Structure 1
Amino acid sequence: MTQRTTTHAFFDAHTGTVSYVVHDHATRRAAIVDPVLDYDFKSGRTGTQSLEGLIDCVRTQQLQVDWILETHAHADHLSGARHLQQLFGGRIAIGAHIREVQATFKTLFNLERGFLPDGSQFDHLFEDGETFMIGETPATALRVPGHTPADMAYVVDGAVFVGDTLFMPDVGSARADFPGGDAHALYRSMRALLALPPETVVYVCHDYPPASREAAWQTTVAQQRAHNIHVRDGIGEEEFVAMRRARDATLGVPTLILPAIQVNVRAGHFPPPDDNGISYLRIPLNALNSPTSPPSPNPK
């Protein structure tokens, strides 16, 4: 079958994140998936170096951006969605269950009264199975909870952008102890993705490669079913859940979770500035990984 789209990948080595531009040949209309805004933890400064290749692609390919798609509210990088929207337009979209994530973190960070956990910070909230168009190419949003309650995958032209739901086969799966995460739900979401046609191209959002290979981000459903170390055919739900829970118990807090979540639940907006014109992030002391609060996420 002739492909109706082309996908361009951009790997950010600092966070292990892969962002994508997928464009429709007939119309030159495009969607961007999971863009990364740079953040220097020591200085508190943001930057756009990780976006430059993606920006150059949109410009040189003369694309019109219709969608900026987030697979979930990431804990390992700040979203570049708002910066890209300022440059190119397009609607910033995420799954409708982002409201649950927003409610959790509004409480943890004690966010300002004006922050409403209703998803209104985004331009569109996808329901499970909702279809949309990238130019003349149809796409489908699939809810794949487990890593978070709000994770989405996007099926486009024989490919699926899976976010953190699946990693490359030799890395396996993301952790499931994010607030609202669930290892049982993650297993079922992965198996639902692996029920897609075996030739379906799988584009992952992160890669943390072993020393034996370079970073990679493209595989297939067939390869995942045969080789994924956590969820290949023959591994049952209870076996996976036991493995995932044991592994999650050993993982630390991601370096950028505190700044990332505060920006990402706002669709890439910074917190509103104080009366001196400066935006501030909040650091909850003695809250993460304590017996009285939910455990926190880490990509692996």
Structure 2
Amino acid sequence: MSEQPQQQPIIHPIFEPATSTWQYIVADPSTKSAVVIDSVLDFDPAKNAIFTSTADALLALINEKGYTVVKILETHVHADHLTASRYLQARLSSSSSGGNPPELCIGKRITQVQERFARRYGIEKTEYEGVFDRLLDDDDVFRVGEMEVKALHLPGHTPDHIGYLIGYNVFCGDSLFNGDVGSARCDFPGGNAHDLYNSAQKLLSLPATHRIWTGHDYPPGGESGRTDPVPYTTVADQKRSNKHLKTGTTEQDFVGWRSTRDAGLAEPKLLHQALQFNIRAGRLPAATSTGGDRFLHLPLKIAVSDGLVW
């Protein structure tokens, strides 16, 4: 008797256009146990206001399909959007039978990232220590219903970055983008273009038909470019057409190009808000004792040619 093929997950890709982020709900078809990967909390920088429309749409889909979310997964500390992980956990905990909250999970190197940015923004250790329920080791394997999920360390964009291998699908976060977009920047603290090249080779060494689901998409548009976001391509597609990492690209060429490109990039629009929020796993900053306001710190740039500070 031949071995039965592994049952593949149900995957719901949900695109958030304001930050060009792909969010995923991935469910075991047998048990309806599910995970959420890289959720988005809406933020209006003009009003300094958080709102939950995108996250509430995830919750509505989870409820419609009858899924039980057992884990909320992050690929890394995002610098371009705020995570909805803690909000989702609170909502799903209050609505689940027995009140068991889904675990918030991220790679184990998150502690390095938390410490670095807590120092930068003056965040107390009590506000970020222990905010994630599980720190995943390299190649950790856990089950979601009858699905097996494996954590893959994919550094380069950030040092804590991981992906999730589920069946013949890998959710790679900001490691690889679609072929006409290429690869993620490596100029954030702890980022490294050599590491990203090696992480890409790990992904491209998977079987040709495996699907690589990306964390963002930025359709190039124009006369010959596509205009609609696409959530995945296959390993074979990436090896054939990724403009930064296709077959034959040397590490030296990639690192040289990536370093030159990154030097000219502007910082993400929500960089400071996102980093402060996300090292807390999406928990709100502590309220002040007077007025109950909650604050995020923004660096003040002083444009004085002679460097005078007054």
Residue 115 of structure 1 and its aligned partner are, at CA, apart by 3.5
Residue 285 of structure 1 and its aligned partner are, at CA, apart by 2.3
Larger Rg: 2
Contact 2:127/2:285, CA 8 A, preserved across alignment? no
Unaligned runs of 5+ in 1: 288-300
Alignment counterpart, residue 32 of structure 1, candidates 13, 36, 44: 36
Contact 1:108/1:284, CA 8 A, preserved across alignment? no
Tell me, yes or no, if structure 1 residue 254 matches structure 2 residue 258.
no
- Match of 2:41, SS state, is strand
Alignment counterpart, residue 213 of structure 2, candidates 179, 182, 203: 203
Match of 2:296 in 1: 281
| Residue identity in the other structure for 2:270 | L
Contact 1:24/1:137, CA 8 A, preserved across alignment? yes
CA RMSD of aligned residues (A): 1.2
| Residue identity in the other structure for 1:172 | G
Alignment counterpart, residue 220 of structure 1, candidates 209, 222, 234: 234
Residue 110 of structure 1 and its aligned partner are, at CA, apart by 1.4
Unaligned runs of 5+ in 2: 93-100, 303-310
Contact 2:8/2:168, CA 8 A, preserved across alignment? no
Match of 1:243 in 2: 257
Alignment counterpart, residue 66 of structure 2, candidates 54, 62, 65: 62
Contact 1:170/1:228, CA 8 A, preserved across alignment? yes
- 1:76-225 to 2 correspondence within 5 Å? 76-88=80-92, 89-115=101-127, 118=129, 120-211=130-221, 212-213=225-226, 214-225=228-239
Q: Distance in 1 between matches of 2:31 and 2:8?
A: 10
Match of 2:12 in 1: 8
State the Cα deviation string for residues 240-273 of structure 1 (Å, max 9, x = none).
0000000001100110011111110011111111
Tell me, yes or no, if structure 1 residue 18 matches structure 2 residue 33.
no
Residue 51 of structure 1 and its aligned partner are, at CA, apart by 2.0
| Residue identity in the other structure for 1:280 | F
Query: After TM superposition, what 4+ stretches of structure 1 lie above 4 angstroms from structure 2?
Result: none
Residue 2 of structure 1 and its aligned partner are, at CA, apart by 5.7
Compute the TM-score of the two structures, normalised by the length of structure 1: 0.92
- Match of 2:62, SS state, is helix
Q: Distance in 1 between matches of 2:158 and 2:273?
A: 18
Q: What is the percentage of aligned positions where both structures have the same residue?
A: 40
Q: Distance in 1 between matches of 2:172 and 2:230?
A: 14
